Amino acid sequence: MQAQATSSKSFADSAQHLLGGWFQQRTAGLLVLAVGVGSLSGLLSVSFWHAIRLIHLTGTIALYDHVRPYLDPGGHWLSPSLWAAVLPAAGAFLMALLVRWTVHAPENPGVATVMLDARTSPGNLPLRYVPVAFFAAALIIGSGGSAGREAPVVAMGGIIGGWVGRWLGLTRRRREILIGCGAAAAIAAAYNAPLAGVFFALELVLGDYTAGTLSPVVLASVAGTSVCRALEGVGASHFVVPPYHIAAWWEIGLYAGLGLAAGLVAPLFVATDRGIHRFFHGLDRVPALFKPMLGGLAVGALALALPQVMGNGYSHVQDVLAGKLTFALLAALVFGKILATSLTLGSGGWGGDFAPLLVIGAMLGGAYGTGMDHLIPQLDLTASSYAMVGMGALLTAAIRCPITAILLLFELTGSYQVILPMMTAVAVAIPVSRIFLRRGMYHEQMAAMGGPSSELPETRLLETVPVAQVMQPQAVTLSAGAPYREILKVIATSTQLVFPVLDSGGRLLGALTFQTLRGHLDAVELADLIVAADVASEDIPILTVHDTLERAMLLFAEYDFEEIPVVTDLEERRFAGILTRRQAMAARARALAEWEMLEE
């Protein structure tokens, strides 16, 4: 038996090696894998949507037909709305149990997690997260938690793509591309929008538009959309969009105002989410198992006043598009949905924030359009038009994906006319949101997880190179008590331009440069009295061994220094080495050259 098992394992390893070699050496192999990952991601998207519906139906039936008769036999204690408010807490508790029994990790793998995986160690996320994320997020959304299905499917598709690449032993670059393929297919299948899926992967998940990336991502997006259409129908979509029109040419200015509103609401969403996340994280006396349930109870309590905040909210977006909601309700739902989503996800619930952003944007746009219609009744403005543009504007302001948002709206509406208002709103929303939110929401989440946070490809690349890897650990230093004559002698015999001054314990006190010495060159009569500590400048740039090459380049650009001292950390300031501008530029060139080689 043991020999048979060993033989089977040897055969599997050989097959894996042969397949990996074929897929690695041929471009066609990568395209085949892209189609496979995209198809599987599309299938997951459709299955996940049906699982959410099934859990919602099952949970409602179980609550009303089986639980309520025992707890409230006569139906006199609690009204149906109060019973419905209990559902999010019940779903959150079941989700917490599932996560505790399986992956033992309370963190929700979302878009930022997949982005971080693609940028650092592609394929490092374990495959077991896929079934756990499937059922955990379905429990949250199906029970009424305010979260979306798109981000979990993006995470699942990205994890599958990375795992396939790692299992086949593909290069880092090919694993990264397969992660983007899974993400593209997830968005494409979710909205029946293949173009939006492609640019979602290029703009956010991968962050580049090179030819080697584009082809597999496009094929994956087409495959995911094809699977969705085969299972759900060609016209499958969350929304029935009314015909789009512009009342007058100067109405474009009104869409600029909507962009301004979206640019202000997006930072509010991010700040609320962070604040509630910190609040639940700080509840040390509450076991982690019960925190999602508390968030679910809070969402249920909020739903007693605003029942529309429960679930993903797409049905209420359809109500906005049909003009069924009043201005007051729309305005209330903007803030209610922000709070409900933050409570669901901030307390530890698994789910996405992509869909809630679209819902909040629709409410914001609907309220704005309704208000403008009351102010300018002669134009006969259509609130649904502003609701659609509001979805894309808020999404862009929060996560910085302008091309994805424009194409998503175009594919949902099928109207070229929506592009001009959408571009106007996006162009205003991004700079306004940057005043309060320097980076996109997912990039901020990556930074919080310790990953590269830049939205620019080159800057993101430099964020992966640590200063400790580039600096020279050996450098000419001066002791704090070194006399003036010794200082001159050291400077005269060294090619260094900056001389760190250290105390007896090796701590950096400051540095000597030619600029700082210039005022003491004529002090020959004081040569026996002046020591290095007296003339060392404390106003110098300092790097730590944990800093990245990106920060080093920023300091070199800000200060007129050719060399920057490096310390272990800013508290102890123990000297570790020195980084020269030439070393930093050479390391930058090497990093870019290696990246370009991976592209080929």
Question: Residue 145 has which token pair?
Answer: 């938690």
Mean pLDDT of the chain: 82
pLDDT above 90 (res 323): no
DSSP designation for 578: E
Look at 73 and 269; give whichever has higher pLDDT: 269
Number of H helices, E strands in the chain: 26, 6
What's residue 554's pLDDT? 82
CATH class of 461-599: alpha beta
How is residue 561 annotated by DSSP?
Answer: -
Pairing relationship of beta strands 498-502 and 478-479 according to DSSP bridges: parallel
Model confidence at 238, in pLDDT bands (50, 70, 90)? Answer: low
CA distance 325 to 557: 53
Backbone angles phi, psi at 512, to 5 degrees: -105, 130
Instruction: Report yes or no: 243 and 415 within 8 Å, Cβ to Cβ.
Output: yes
Residue type, 214: L
In angstroms, rounded to a whole number, what is the distance separating the alpha carbons of residues 68 and 81? 12
% of residues, the chain, pLDDT over 90:
30
pLDDT score, position 600: 45
Average pLDDT over residues 450-455: 62
For residue 599, the model assigns a pLDDT of 47
59-63, 89-93, 254-258: range with lowest mean pLDDT: 59-63
Residue 260: predicted pLDDT: 96
Highest mean pLDDT among 30-34, 167-171, 241-245, 484-488: 30-34
Which helix (H) or strand (E) is 160 found in, with range? Answer: helix 150-167
Are 190 and 45 a contacting pair, CB within 8 Å? yes
Half-sphere exposure of 426 (CA within 13 A, CB side): 23
Q: Is the four-CA dihedral 492, 495, 498, 504 of positive or negative sign? A: negative
Confidence of residue 21 (pLDDT cuts 50, 70, 90): low
CA distances from 414 to 406, 410, 459 (A): 12, 5, 36
* Distance between CA atoms of residues 298 and 303, nearest Å: 9
pLDDT at residue 303 is higher than 70: yes
Measured N-to-C along each axis, helices 111-119 and 172-191 cross at an angle, to the nearest 10 degrees, of 160
Q: What confidence score (pLDDT) does residue 11 get?
A: 46
Query: How many angstroms separate the CA atoms of 99 and 116, rounded?
Result: 21
Higher-pLDDT residue of 578, 251: 578
Q: Domain map of the chain by residue range?
A: 17-232, 249-284+308-457, 461-599
pLDDT in tens, 122-149: 888 888 889 999 999 999 998 888 998 8
What pLDDT score was predicted for residue 223?
95
Least confident of 18-22, 302-306, 357-361, 562-566: 18-22
Place of tokens 């808020």: 394
Which structure tokens are listed for 442?
């997912």
- In this prediction, residues 581-595 reach a mean pLDDT of 76
- Tell me if 17-232 shares its fold with 461-599: no
Query: Bigger pLDDT: 64 or 439?
Result: 439
3-state secondary structure of 566: strand
Q: Provide the β-strand partners of residue 511.
A: 500, 537
Query: Which tens digit of pLDDT belongs to each residue from 422-436?
Result: 999 999 999 999 999
Considering the entire predicted model, what is its pTM? 0.76
Domain range 17-232, CATH class: mainly alpha
Q: Best-predicted range by mean pLDDT among 177-181, 240-244, 321-325?
A: 177-181
Label residue 334 by pLDDT band (50, 70, 90): very high
pLDDT of 13: 52
Interval 154-211: pLDDT, tens:
999 999 999 999 988 888 888 889 999 999 999 999 888 899 999 999 888 887 777 7
Look at residues 81, 134, 106, 104 and name the one whose alpha carbon lies nearest to residue 308: 81
pLDDT band at 344 (very low <50, low <70, confident <90, very high): very high
What percent of the chain has pLDDT above 70? 81
Q: What is the reported pLDDT for 265?
A: 96
Residue 440 has pLDDT above 80, yes or no: yes
Q: Which two tokens stand for residue 260?
A: 């301004």
pLDDT digits (tens, 9 = 90+) for 363-416: 999 999 999 988 888 777 788 889 989 999 999 999 998 999 999 888 887 777
Opening angle at CA 131, ends 405 and 88, nearest 5: 70
Q: For residue range 89-106, what is the model confidence (pLDDT) as tens digits?
A: 888 998 989 988 887 665
What topology is assigned to 249-284+308-457 in CATH?
A: Clc chloride channel (1.10.3080)
